[in-house]
Homo-oligomer: A and B are copies of this chain.
Amino acid sequence: MKELVFVGLGLHDEKGISLQGIEETKTANQAFIELYTSVLPCFSMQRFEAIVNKLVHIISRHNLEEENGAVILNAAETGKTVFLIPGDPFIATTHVALRIEAEKRGVRTRIVHGASVMSAIIGLSGLHNYKFGKTVTIPFSENSSKTPYEVIAQNKRLGLHTLCLLDINADEKRFLSINEALTLLVNIEQKRKEGVITRDTVAVGVARAGSNAPTLKADFVKDLIRYDFGDPPQSLIFPGDLHFMEAEALVTLAGAPERLKRLAK
Contact = CB atoms under 8 A, between A and B. Distances in A.
Interface residues of A, number: 60
Interface of A: 8, 10-11, 13-20, 22-23, 51, 88-93, 96-97, 99-100, 103-104, 110-111, 113-116, 118-120, 122-124, 126, 128-137, 154, 158, 160, 209-210, 212, 245, 248-249, 252-253
A126 B96 contact: yes
A10 B137 CA distance: 26
B253 A90 contact: no
A235 to B, nearest CB: 14
A258 to B, nearest CB: 14
Contacts of A134: 130-133, 158, 160
Contact of A120 (B14, B88, B103, B136): B88
A131 B261 CA distance: 31
A51 B124 contact: no
A130 B119 contact: no
A171 to B, nearest CB: 21
A210 B14 CA distance: 21
Given A91-B119, A115-B114, A103 B252 contact: yes
A220 to B, nearest CB: 22
A110 B126 CA distance: 13
A119 B128 contact: no
A129 B91 contact: yes
A100 B115 contact: no
A135 B126 contact: no
A236 to B, nearest CB: 15
A41 to B, nearest CB: 14
Contacts of A252: 100, 103-104
